Amino acid sequence: MDSTVEIRTSQGTFLSRGSDPDGVLAYIEDKIAVLTGIPAGHGEPFNVLRYENGQHYDSHYDSFDEAGYGKQSSQRVATVLVYLSDVEEGGETSFLFEGVGGTERLKTVDYKKCDTGIKVTPRAGDALLFWSVHPDMTRDLHSLHGGCPVARGTKWTATKWIRDRCMSAAGASCSSESVN
Ligand code: PD2
Ligand code: ZN
C-alpha cells in the first residue's frame, strides 16, 4: 500500500519555518538536522495532523515507490514524527513488520489493523525517527507504519519528511556544515 490518498482520516496542514516569525519551527528543524545528520533544507514543511476519536492513518510507506508514483526528483529517506500531545487511549504509531518474525508477516499482514509489530505511544514532546530506505537507497519494506485509531482524547503530531536532496525554498540550509 503506497498511496496515502484516502487512508488518513485526520485533519492536517503544512507549516514551514518561513511562516513562523518566532523561530520555533526553525529551532525544531535544526534539532532534527542534528538528530538525523541531514541538513534542515532537505526537510519538507511540517505536516501538522489532528486526530479526533476514531481517526487513524492506515499503514503506508513514506518513501515513494517508482511503480506507484513514477520517477521522483528526490526520495524520502527518513521521517521524524514529533508528538505534540499525549493521547488518553489509542493513537499509537504502529510498525507492523517490526519484532520477531517481521519478514514472514510481509505477505499476510492486514495493513489496516494495529494488532502486530510494535506500537509507539504518543507523548507530548517526544520525537520518533525512523528510516524509509536502506543505506544503498533501496526502500526498506519494514518501514511500513500507521497511526492506530484514537480511542479517547485528541492526538496532535507534526511530521517532518526528509529527502535525499535539498528542498529548501524556505531558508533552511542545505549544507552539511550547518549540522552541528
Ligand atoms: O500520526 C502518526 O502516528 C503517523 C503514522 C503514520 C503519521 C504518519 N504516518 C505520517 O505523517 O507519515
Ligand atoms: Zn507515515
Question: Nine-digit cell at 95?
Answer: 510498525
With a cut of 50, say whether residue 14 has pLDDT above it: yes
Residues 6+ apart with CB under 8 A from 107: none
How far is residue 131's CA from residue 167's CA, in Å, rounded to a whole number?
A: 18
Q: Which residues pair with 81 in a beta bridge?
A: 128, 159
Question: Nine-digit cell at 5?
Answer: 490518498
First to last CA, the chain: 36
- Which residue has its alpha carbon closest to ligand 1 atom 9? 146
Task: Report pTM.
Answer: 0.91
Question: Nine-digit cell at 153?
Answer: 482524547
Atom of ligand 1 nearest to the CA of 157: 1
Substitution site in 4, 10, 49 for ligand 1 pocket (most atoms within 8 Å of beta carbon): 49
Ligand 1 pocket check for 49: Cβ under 6 Å: yes
Q: What tens digit of pLDDT does each residue of 75-107 get?
A: 999 999 999 999 999 999 999 998 777 777 777
